[in-house]
Every structure is written in C-alpha cells, then in structure tokens.
C-alpha cells in the first residue's frame, strides 16, 4: 500500500523548515502541489522555484499557494473549499505547528492556546475534512509530523509534549481505522531539527538539545517520505534520536521520572540565575 504522491498533495507549514523541505522533494512527484502557510511571500518565492525546476518535464507541475492562518477555523474552511474546487486532495501533509519552551506556570496562555489550536485542532480538522473522500475512493495518504516528544515526556515543554502525544495517538488510531481501506497514515517523530523552531518557541529554560543529535530539515523530509512511500506507521529520522528513543522505550517509568525531576530542577535554577543561560552542547 502506497500513498498517491503523484496526485494532489497539500503541505501545511510549507514556508520554512521541514515543510519547505517536504515541498521541494514532493515537487518531483506530485501533479498538483498545494502550499499552505501564513507567510505568502515565502510561499510565492518557493512556488516560483518549484515551477521553474519542473519546466520542460513530461508532466507539468501545478503549484498553488494559499496564505492561511490555520489557527483560524473560518480561514481553514475557506482554504479547503478553495483547494477542493480544483479536485480532491489525495495526500495531506500535516506539518504546521510550533512549540513553547518554558516552565508551565510561566508560559503565556495566549501562546499556549494558539499552540493547542494549531498542533491539535487544526491538524484534526484538516484530516477530518479530507479522509472521508480518501476512504470513499479507496486511496489516499496522511503524513502527520509529530515529534520525538510524542513518544516521551520532558519538563519545560509540557503543553507541546501533550500536543505531540495527541498526534501520535491520533495517528495510530486513524491508521487502524482506514489502513484496510487503502489510506496510508504515517507519523514522523523527529528529534532536534535545524529549523526556526527554537526561535519561535522562545526558549526560557536555559537548556538546548545537543547539537550532535540534530539533523537537517532535508534529511528529516527524505526519511519521512521514504517511510511514507513504504507505508510505514512511524518514522523516526536520524540515527542518534532513533536509538535514544529505543532506549527510552525500555527505560522504566519510575527511573525516567527521576531523570525528568532533575532536569526540571536544572531548568528552574537556570531561570533563576542572573548569569547567561547555558549554551548549546
């Protein structure tokens, strides 16, 4: 069972990072590529590059740009209405999302609420809109970009961890429901990726992920699409994180809780310290 990447593919969060890397790699396969994000100028620039690279090939690529705040329910609906006027969506790439790095009680509620709306509600709404048609047609695909945090628990990112646990659980259950109807559902659980994530998350914990574990957005996209095309349930890009998560899976919960308590104490000490926050490892 393979997702129909040669049809209409919608990619959210396509203006930067993993979403942009996914769009660039999908451009060589899709017939119609729909790019969705808030920053229209970035989407238009990417679309121009992708169209130019496909010039002269036997199968023309149609690239559409839809500037949309996916956290706005009305905007999501209008975007989907506009896209579906050009035909059904064969593959949905749910990549849009952001994080927050702070101790829970110090996080801004307006930001946390927006994160819940984008990471959880928007992702679910998009899938709910397109999956029925996929089931009816007997073919389709949903690629959900989750996180290694969706398979573990860390202090300093409590709400973000919660949203990614939702994505992981939702993806597994949805796959069970629709896989036998020809619809591929794959979740991608990367660790640190070299993107704008840390700038957007406004890290106040003083801690950074180790650089040796980080991978590029291009590598993440490549491994994600390879696993998706093979119909895999889960993809964990990056050798280091893949093996760390395997180790985490066999670590007793009581032991991991002790580790996370120590981490949380270090974060509180870093926030309370008048010195510069710890740099990247």
Query: 């609420």: which residue's tokens?
Result: 113
> Would you list the domain boundaries of the chain?
8-272
Give the C-alpha distances (Å, rounded to integers) separating 264 from 69, 160, 244, 261.
33, 15, 20, 5
3-state secondary structure at position 185: strand
Question: CA separation (Å) from 32 to 23, 62, 112, 238?
Answer: 11, 5, 34, 29
Is there a contact between 155 and 105 (Cβ–Cβ < 8 Å)?
no
Could you report the per-residue pLDDT of 138-181, keeping only the tens digit for each? 999 999 999 999 999 999 999 999 999 999 999 999 999 999 99
User: Inter-axis angle of helices 73-84 and 123-137, to 10 degrees?
Assistant: 30
Q: Quick one: DSSP state of residue 151?
A: G
Amino acid 213: pLDDT: 87
**CATH number at 8-272:** 3.40.50.720
Count of residues making up the chain? 281
Q: ∠ at Cα 20 (129, 156), nearest 5°?
A: 80
Q: Hey, which bits of 198-264 come out as E strands?
A: 234-235
Q: How far is CA 21 from CA 85, 132, 151, 167, in A?
A: 26, 28, 23, 21
167-205 residues labelled b (16+ CB within 10 A) or e (exposed): bbebbeebbeebeeebbbbbbbbbbbbebebeebbebbb
Residue 156 region, left (φ>0) first, then alpha (ψ -120 to 50), else beta?
left
Look at residue 278 in the predicted model and tell me its pLDDT: 36
| All residues at 6 or more sequence positions from 203 whose CB lies less than 8 Å from its CB, including other chains | 101, 102
Q: Is the dihedral of CA 50, 4, 89, 98 positive or negative?
A: negative
Cβ 235 vs Cβ 187: under 8 Å:
yes
160 is catalytic: yes
Residue in 149, 154, 160, 228 annotated catalytic: 160
Count of CB atoms situated within 10 Å of the CB of 150: 25
Reported pTM: 0.91
Local structure of 14: helix, strand or coil: coil
pLDDT along the chain (281 residues), means of 10: 95 97 96 97 96 72 97 98 98 96 94 98 98 98 97 95 98 98 98 74 65 92 98 97 95 96 90 47 27
- The sheet that has 62-67: what strands, in order across it? 62-67, 32-37, 8-12, 91-94, 140-145, 183-188, 234-235
């Amino acid at each position: 069972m393979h997702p129909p990447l040669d049809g209409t593919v919608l990619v959210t969060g396509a203006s930067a990072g993993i979403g942009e890397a996914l769009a660039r790699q999908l451009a060589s396969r899709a017939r119609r590529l729909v790019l969705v994000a808030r920053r229209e100028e970035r989407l238009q620039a990417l679309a121009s590059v992708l169209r130019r690279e496909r010039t002269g090939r036997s199968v023309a690529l149609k690239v559409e740009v839809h500037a949309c705040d996916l956290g706005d329910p009305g905007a999501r609906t209008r975007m989907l209405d506009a896209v579906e006027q050009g035909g059904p969506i064969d593959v949905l790439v749910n990549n849009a999302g952001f994080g927050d790095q702070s101790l829970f009680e110090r996080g801004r509620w307006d930001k946390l609420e927006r994160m819940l709306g984008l990471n959880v509600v928007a992702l679910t709404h998009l899938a709910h809109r397109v999956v029925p048609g996929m089931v009816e047609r007997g073919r389709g695909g949903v690629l959900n970009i989750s996180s290694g945090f969706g398979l573990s628990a860390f202090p300093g990112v409590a709400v973000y961890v919660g949203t990614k646990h939702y994505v992981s659980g939702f993806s597994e259950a949805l796959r069970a429901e629709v896989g036998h109807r020809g619809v591929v559902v794959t979740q991608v659980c990367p660790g640190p990726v070299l993107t704008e994530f840390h700038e957007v998350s406004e890290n106040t914990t003083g801690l950074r992920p180790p650089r040796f574990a980080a991978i590029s957005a291009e590598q993440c996209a490549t491994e994600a699409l390879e696993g998706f095309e093979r119909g895999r349930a889960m993809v964990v890009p990056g050798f280091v994180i893949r093996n760390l998560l395997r180790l985490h899976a066999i670590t007793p919960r009581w032991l991991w809780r002790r580790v996370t308590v120590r981490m949380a104490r270090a974060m509180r000490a870093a926030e309370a310290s008048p010195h510069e926050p710890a740099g990247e490892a």
